[in-house]
A and B are shown apart, each in its own frame.
Chain A
Amino acid sequence: MLGLPRWFHRWASPPHVYELAERWRPWLGGLALLTILGGAYGGLVLAPPDYLQGDSFRIIYVHVPSAYLSMMGYTLMAVAAAIGFVWRIKLAHAVAVSIAPIGASFTFLALVTGGIWGRPTWGTYWEWGDARLMFELLLLFLYLGYMALRASFEDRDKADRVSAILAVVGVVNVPIIHYSVEWWSTLHQGPTIAKLDTPSITFDMLAPLLVMIAGFTLCFAWLVLNRLQGEIVEREHDARWLRRFAEAVR
């Protein structure tokens, strides 16, 4: 690790990252709130209703960002866990742990909003034949497996390393599961769904979506920072720097 600049090493130091999180958190939270409010206004008021689905399409402004973050979250979690496993950086494990429940929540949100959208569009809350719904469900199971595995170890260090292996195995499998579910649904000649073969979406509809994706990503980062701080406090609860920090705040 010679030759790496000093600032690089500081990223593995809990006090440094804790302080950074403390400084960034309000900005991220505020920015996320503003972006989501702006995107929601654009999506719910400014964007024209869809000529086929009417107003029900507007749920994509929640659904698409959550679905994107559900996959992004798993990838980030696995990358953080792998970094923690290979270089034995405890902070990276803390990041992975912080991401897991948030990623799972976004996965759940994507499933629920998909179901709500499916009711007026397909006539059913749950369509077994849809590949993306099935994939999101399996992804949720992967998140739950990761969290359940962690929870069953008493020793935190061991839980870190064992769950890191699972996260990496899972992230290798995510594309395989994704494509196999996709082929499964195209091979299965289920009920023919009048699916929109998403033609080039008009700019009025797309712009709020992009804003919402940015807002949700900021919100995701904000949530992760919150959890990360809690995780750091839990792991370092008897460290001296933490006591100094707490006294300074008081």
Chain B
Amino acid sequence: MDAFGAIVIRDLKLAFRRWSELANPLIFFVIVTSLFPLALSPDETELRTIGVGVLWVSALLSSLLALDGLFRNDADDGSLEQLLLSPVPVGITAVAKILAHWLVTSVPLIVLAPVVALAFRLPTGALPVLVGALLLATPTLSVLAAIGAALTLGIRHSGPIIGLLVLPLASPLLIFGARATDLAAFGEATAGPLYLLAALAVLAVSVGPIAVAAALRVGVE
């Protein structure tokens, strides 16, 4: 457990020292969402209908942008190898790194999302559900991202291929997340999709690190 905390703290420290890398995906998120009204129309009712979809797709894309740094820097300077050689189980290391990654990339996104949602004229009643759905969906997304990042560790230009690997796998998150937000916007019951998101999160967090660990072992060789 000491090792777990140490890895999380180390990764957080490293992340805040390179804070521009953290800010880029967030800026990307805001830019993408603001492009849609330019491309479609500034009409309020239309914004409200597309808002939920725009929000979720942009969140998905911007989190893809952040995931290359998840293992890459550590692999380049050799510290990942040391982590794998240490007596700590690789699965624990993977969970710690995923948690740190989630804290620095997803949490700011979750804070930012309601603001963007308001700009898209989503009713304020839907905001708690939006935040809740993002809180449930982003851990799964982080695990999927970690799998993608670990699998492509040995490839130099891994950007496009990570998208190809992760986006189809993330489609259920998009479906249920957008659905929950949509239902909330119309004032209907949202428990169903939220439970499904929670179930996916439990599955991803419990099984995913095994896949990440296996991929890291292969990738570092």
The verdict on B37 contacting chain A, using a C-beta distance below 8 Å, is: no
B218 to chain A: closest residue by CB: A161
Q: A149-B152, A165-B218, A184-B179 are in contact. Are A177 and B164 (CB under 8 A)?
A: no
In angstroms, how far is the closest chain A Cβ from the Cβ of B160? 9
Q: A145-B165, A162-B154 are in contact. Are A181 and B221 (CB under 8 A)?
A: no
The verdict on A76 contacting chain B, using a C-beta distance below 8 Å, is: no
Chain A interface, DSSP helix/strand/loop, else mixed: helix
Q: Which of A43-51, A167-175, A205-213, A221-229 contacts B (4 or more CB under 8 A)?
A: A167-175
Interface-centre pick from A141, A152, A169, A187 (highest chain B CB count, 10 A): A169
In angstroms, how far is the closest chain B Cβ from the Cβ of A179? 8
The verdict on B65 contacting chain A, using a C-beta distance below 8 Å, is: no
B79-121: which residues lie under 8 A (CB-CB) from chain A? none
The verdict on A148 contacting chain B, using a C-beta distance below 8 Å, is: yes
Give chain B's interface residue range (CB within 8 Å of chain A).
20 to 34
Contact B221 A141 (CB under 8 A): no
B193-221: which residues lie under 8 A (CB-CB) from chain A? 196, 200, 207, 211, 214-215, 218-219, 221
Q: A148-B161, A184-B175 are in contact. Are A177 and B154 (CB under 8 A)?
A: no
The verdict on A83 contacting chain B, using a C-beta distance below 8 Å, is: no
B residues less than 8 Å from A169 (CB atoms): 147, 169, 211
In angstroms, how far is the closest chain A Cβ from the Cβ of B180? 11
Residues of B at the A interface (CB closer than 8 Å) are 147, 151-152, 154-155, 158, 161, 164-165, 167-169, 171-172, 175-176, 179, 196, 200, 207, 211, 214-215, 218-219, 221
Contact A181 B175 (CB under 8 A): yes
A residues less than 8 Å from B158 (CB atoms): 152
B residues less than 8 Å from A89 (CB atoms): none
A and B contact pairs by CB, cutoff 8 A, 7 listed:
A149-B161, A149-B165, A155-B154, A161-B218, A165-B147, A177-B171, A180-B196
B173 to chain A: closest residue by CB: A180
B residues less than 8 Å from A34 (CB atoms): none
The answer, among A149, A152, A153, A177, for a CB contact under 8 Å with B168, is: A177
A151-207: which residues lie under 8 A (CB-CB) from chain B? 152-153, 155, 158, 161-162, 165-166, 168-170, 172-173, 176-177, 180-181, 183-184, 187
Chain B interface, DSSP helix/strand/loop, else mixed: helix
A153 to chain B: closest residue by CB: B154
A180 to chain B: closest residue by CB: B172
B residues less than 8 Å from A173 (CB atoms): 169, 172
Question: CA separation between A162 and B155, bound complex, in Å?
Answer: 11
A134 to chain B: closest residue by CB: B171
B residues less than 8 Å from A112 (CB atoms): none
Interface-centre pick from B147, B155, B176, B218 (highest chain A CB count, 10 A): B218
Interface-centre pick from B152, B161, B164 (highest chain A CB count, 10 A): B164
B residues less than 8 Å from A172 (CB atoms): 207
A81-126: which residues lie under 8 A (CB-CB) from chain B? 85
Question: CA separation between A155 and B164, bound complex, in Å?
Answer: 21
Contact B155 A176 (CB under 8 A): no
B residues less than 8 Å from A144 (CB atoms): 164
Question: CA separation between A181 and B172, bound complex, in Å?
Answer: 7
The verdict on A28 contacting chain B, using a C-beta distance below 8 Å, is: no
The answer, among A142, A158, A177, A183, for a CB contact under 8 Å with B218, is: A158
Question: CA separation between A63 and B45, bound complex, in Å?
Answer: 41
The verdict on A138 contacting chain B, using a C-beta distance below 8 Å, is: yes
Contact A166 B171 (CB under 8 A): no
In angstroms, how far is the closest chain A Cβ from the Cβ of B4? 23
A178 to chain B: closest residue by CB: B172
Contact A138 B211 (CB under 8 A): no
The 10 closest A-B pairs by CB, nearest first: A180-B172, A141-B168, A184-B175, A145-B164, A145-B165, A161-B218, A152-B155, A138-B168, A180-B175, A165-B215
Other contacts beyond A169-B147, A169-B169: 15, CB < 8 A:
A141-B164, A152-B155, A152-B158, A155-B154, A158-B154, A162-B215, A162-B219, A165-B211, A166-B165, A173-B172, A177-B168, A177-B172, A181-B172, A181-B175, A183-B175
